[in-house]
Amino acid sequence: MPLLLNEFMSAFNGSFTAALRWHQLDALWAVLRDQADDDWYIYAVGEAPPESPSSMSELHRFIDEMDSFLRREHDEAYCGIVYADNLLQPGFIKIYDPHNLGVSCGYSLNPPLPGWILSKLAPCDLPSTRVLPNNRRRWWRKLFE
């Protein structure tokens, strides 16, 4: 296994903290906007992993669209579906699809994969356990047209 793949999978399987409340997600987005460079990979699990990092404008557009999407589709008083390796200095963020949560918050031998990953490490192709619905695929592709 190549070194970078080992790094990505090690980070993927590492320790994460939830942005449990919406104001914590707001704070995480603010940190990303303030500290972001052109070194973030934006990966939709089920699509081919990106070969290069996104631009700052693409990252900002993703944050805006993802925030709107999550608030619309996860109609709860809490967030709890976005996890970062460090909420104050993130390097790896998992975003779970509100319609494919399974037991993402609890213990499972086969936890669901996140729907989207933001990472400073080049991602490897994670085998999706579900077919990406066409509406999600269209939404994702439209983001970067």
- Determine the average pLDDT of the residues in 65-91: 88
Q: What does the domain layout of the chain look like in residue ranges?
A: 3-143
Residue 5 has pLDDT above 70, yes or no: no
Q: Quick one: three-class SS letters along 75-104?
A: CCCCCCCEEECCCCCCCEEEECCCCCCCCC
Residue 76 neighbours by CB under 8 Å, 6+ apart: none
Task: For residue 25, give the 3-state DSSP assignment.
Answer: helix
User: 105-132 pLDDT, tens per residue?
Assistant: 555 566 778 999 999 999 998 875 455 6
CA distance linking residue 96 with residue 19, whole number of Å:
12
Better-predicted residue by pLDDT, 2 or 66: 66
Q: Are strands 17-18 and 92-95 parallel, antiparallel or unpaired?
A: unpaired
User: 83-103 pLDDT, tens per residue?
Assistant: 999 999 999 999 998 766 655
Residue 142 has pLDDT above 90, yes or no: no
* pLDDT value of position 126: 85
* pLDDT value of position 46: 84
Residue in this structure with the two tokens 């400073």, named with its chain if needed = 120
User: 24-65 pLDDT, tens per residue?
Assistant: 999 999 999 988 678 999 999 888 899 999 999 999 999 999
* pLDDT value of position 60: 93
What is the token pair recorded at 48? 């081919």
